[in-house]
Chains A and B, each alone.
Chain A
């Protein structure tokens, strides 16, 4: 169950990374199809990251000499990560919900005062969450996949950003 929640949070993070990296790169007005594609791209990137994380986890399971102990250790570490990630995700989703209100002032303020700072602390929070999770782990076999997951989570946005940047550059080169 804990791993499933972590997977769902990673997918949510991927969706938002997809959206964020696409912003400011399409100057049309009717942007729904563009952002749907961006969200899908982010979701797919999160699935690739999750798949790599699962493969790493399986390899660790196959190679470890403490298979019986590892399951419990991983479960505890993952549960500790949720203490950081769940409140963060709840705050992000609440901030996004504010954008459903009709007031342009509230919607603008949600961007400046909530979503902006929440984006700023994302890498720090990701690192803190994973480190907090694996801090009390007894096995290196728990710590290693945790660090791999952290690297993957941070890489998702970097890779998406690079892809979007490349595509934008090519598009602008065709215009000028």
Chain B
């Protein structure tokens, strides 16, 4: 019964466990300095979930005196992120972000906002979305500042290198995206919010309530019954690294439902209207791979709806 294979294979992936990339890199929360990671403690964590797939992937990472080899981890991270970019390319993620972001910016401008609009991709990794927007849209010529922020200095260096290689008008910064130095008018992210579990999600969303922040667009996997199995099949075919095969499938298990995201957003951010955009394909019950937690300052909502036009059908209830 080969059809049962993925179901059996996924039994070890549960939403209460972390992803491998959450554990093999650690930073000091204050200084953002990289901290050594003890291999055995990562293995113990996955051992407690009986996740042999993750344990095998971690065991394969070289170590020195019991600590994961930093260079090996960084090389692995780059390989994984290069590979994950393929996912974004295949799902035309740049187009999807551009479409909605453009509408939000139009609404912001129509409300009389002048001057540069700062768009920050939180947890941008190697900065695919920001680089795509810089390369493929006219946003930079419309006084839109495109920036990516991540806590991982290796990924930020790589994002900056790639942007420089193609001479793209965007910036990448190592740090906290919600600090006063990096605060944005519009925040966006991809596959980011599900990393924040339970109370941490409310905290993350609460940090959007900055004086200048007008909107946020958080793209994440849309959970539904077959998503982990579809993801497993897709990754088995397309991905080459054990970490990408594990973490991306686990992401679909950990992803929050639209209701959970909305509830958290409305609790943490009462001054924003929030809802889910693009959950289903063309108004049918067919789910999209990604849905978007969209938040707008309340005054933006009516004009945003107008700019959406026929696409307003893809917008869930905004409260």
Residues B92 and A173 in contact, CB atoms below 8 Å apart: no
> Residues 66-89 of chain B: 1 if any A CB is under 8 Å from the residue's CB, otherwise 0?
000001001100110111111001
Residues A175 and B158 in contact, CB atoms below 8 Å apart: yes
Q: How far is the CA of A30 from the CA of B163 in the complex (A)?
A: 11
The reply on A87 being an interface residue by CB < 8 A is no
Q: Interface segment, A7-15, A88-96, A103-111? A: A103-111
Q: Interface range on chain B: under 10, 10 to 19, 20 to 34, or 35 or more?
A: 35 or more
The reply on A72 being an interface residue by CB < 8 A is no
Residues B95 and A104 in contact, CB atoms below 8 Å apart: yes
Which residues of chain A are within 8 angstroms of B233 by Cβ–Cβ distance?
116, 120
Residues B234 and A116 in contact, CB atoms below 8 Å apart: yes
Q: How far is the CA of A23 from the CA of B85 in the complex (A)?
A: 9
Residues B237 and A120 in contact, CB atoms below 8 Å apart: yes
Q: How far is the CA of A64 from the CA of B43 in the complex (A)?
A: 61
Residues B75 and A24 in contact, CB atoms below 8 Å apart: no
Q: How far is the CA of A13 from the CA of B169 in the complex (A)?
A: 38
Which residues of chain A are within 8 angstroms of B135 by Cβ–Cβ distance?
29-30
Which residues of chain A are within 8 angstroms of B154 by Cβ–Cβ distance?
176
Q: Interface segment, B109-117, B125-133, B302-310? A: B125-133
Tell me the nearest residue of chain B to A31, going by C-beta.
Answer: B89
The reply on B162 being an interface residue by CB < 8 A is yes
Which residues of chain B are within 8 angstroms of A105 by Cβ–Cβ distance?
281-282, 288
Residue from B71, B75, B126, B230 in contact with A27 in the complex, judged by beta carbons closer than 8 Å: B126
For residue B163, give the distance in angstroms from its CB to the closest CB of chain A. 9
Which residues of chain A are within 8 angstroms of B91 by Cβ–Cβ distance?
104, 108, 111
> Residues 107-127 of chain A: 1 if any B CB is under 8 Å from the residue's CB, otherwise 0?
110011000100110000000
Which residues of chain B are within 8 angstroms of A104 by Cβ–Cβ distance?
91-92, 95-96
Q: How far is the CA of A111 from the CA of B168 in the complex (A)?
A: 28
The reply on B34 being an interface residue by CB < 8 A is no
Residues A107 and B92 in contact, CB atoms below 8 Å apart: yes
With A108-B289, A175-B158: A29-B90 Cβ-Cβ less than 8 Å:
no
Q: How far is the CA of A98 from the CA of B81 in the complex (A)?
A: 27
With A24-B85, A27-B128, A27-B162: A172-B234 Cβ-Cβ less than 8 Å:
no
Which residues of chain A are within 8 angstroms of B128 by Cβ–Cβ distance?
27, 29
Residues A168 and B79 in contact, CB atoms below 8 Å apart: yes
Tell me the nearest residue of chain B to A109, going by C-beta.
Answer: B281
* Best-surrounded residue of B79, B90, B154, B158 (most CB of chain A within 10 A): B90
Residues B136 and A29 in contact, CB atoms below 8 Å apart: yes
A27-50 with Cβ < 8 A to chain B: 27-31
Which residues of chain A are within 8 angstroms of B132 by Cβ–Cβ distance?
29
Q: How far is the CA of A119 from the CA of B85 in the complex (A)?
A: 19
The reply on A26 being an interface residue by CB < 8 A is yes
Which residues of chain A are within 8 angstroms of B84 by Cβ–Cβ distance?
24
The reply on B52 being an interface residue by CB < 8 A is no
The reply on A25 being an interface residue by CB < 8 A is yes
Which residues of chain A are within 8 angstroms of B95 by Cβ–Cβ distance?
104
Residues B79 and A172 in contact, CB atoms below 8 Å apart: yes
Q: Which residues of A contact B (CB under 8 A)?
A: 23-31, 104-105, 107-108, 111-112, 116, 119-120, 165, 168, 172-173, 175-176
- Return 7 A-B CB contacts under 8 Å, by A number: A24-B82, A24-B238, A29-B166, A108-B91, A108-B289, A172-B78, A173-B75
Q: Which residues of B contact A (CB under 8 A)?
A: 71, 74-75, 78-79, 81-86, 89-92, 95-96, 126, 128, 131-132, 134-136, 154, 158, 161-162, 165-166, 168, 230, 233-234, 237-240, 281-282, 288-289
Pick the 7 closest A-B CB pairs, nearest first.
A24-B86, A104-B92, A24-B83, A29-B135, A176-B74, A111-B90, A27-B82
Given A28-B166, A112-B90, A120-B233, 14 additional A-B pairs, CB 8 A:
A23-B238, A24-B240, A27-B128, A27-B162, A28-B165, A30-B166, A104-B96, A105-B281, A111-B90, A112-B289, A116-B234, A175-B78, A175-B158, A176-B78
